[in-house]
Amino acid sequence: MTTSNTALITGASGGIGLELARIHAKKGGNLVLVARSKDKLEALKTELEAQYEIQVTVIVEDLSKEESAQRIFQQTEALQLKISTLINNAGFGGHGLFHERELVVEQAMMQLNMLTLTALTHLYLTGMVERNQGRILNVSSTASFMPGPLQAVYYATKAYVTSFTQAIAEEVKEYNVTATVLCPGAVATGFVTAGNLEGVDVWKNAKSPESVALCGYQAMEKGTLVAFNQSSLKFMLNWIIPLMPRKLVLSISRQTMEKKASA
Specify the pTM.
Answer: 0.90
Q: Rounded distance, CA 221 to CA 263, Å?
A: 46
Q: Which of 124, 154, 160, 217 is catalytic?
A: 154
Give yes or no for residue 195 having a pLDDT over 70: no
Q: What is the CATH number of domain 6-257?
A: 3.40.50.720
Residues composing the chain: 263
Question: CA 147 to CA 253: how far, in whole Å?
Answer: 7
Report which residue type is found at 175. Y
Using alpha carbons only, give the angle 89, 92, 96 rounded to the nearest 5 degrees: 155
Mean pLDDT is lowest, of 89-98, 199-208, 209-218, for 199-208
Is pLDDT of 78 > 80?
yes
Using CA atoms, how far residue 155 sits from 86, 99, 101, 140, in Å, is 23, 16, 15, 9
Side-chain-side CA neighbours of 156 within 13 Å: the count stands at: 13
Q: How far apart are CA 94 and CA 34, in angstroms?
A: 22
Q: Is the pLDDT of residue 202 over 70?
A: no
How far apart are the C-alpha atoms of 206 and 164, rounded to whole Å?
26
> Cα(first)–Cα(last) distance of the chain, in Å?
56
Name the DSSP class of 82: -
Q: Is the dihedral of CA 110, 8, 74, 123 positive or negative?
A: negative
Instruction: Decide if 129 contacts 173 (C-beta within 8 A).
Output: no
Residue 238 has pLDDT above 50, yes or no: yes
Q: How far apart are CA 115 and CA 69, in angstroms?
A: 9
Distance between CA atoms of residues 132 and 21, nearest Å = 24
**pLDDT exceeding 90 applies to what percent of the chain?**
77
Q: What phi and psi values does residue 101 have, to the nearest 5 degrees?
A: -85, 155
Residue 230 pLDDT: 85
pLDDT, one tens digit per residue, over 86-115 is 999 999 999 999 999 999 999 999 999 999
Residue 247, CA distances (Å) to 11, 113, 146 in order: 35, 26, 11
Position 69, amino acid? A
- The residues spanned by each domain of the chain are 6-257
DSSP string, 134-156: EEEEEE--GGGGS--TTSHHHHH
Task: State yes or no: is 154 an active-site residue.
Answer: yes
- For 212, other C-beta atoms within 10 Å of its C-beta total 26
199: amino acid identity, one letter: G
Q: According to the model, what pLDDT value does residue 25 have?
A: 98
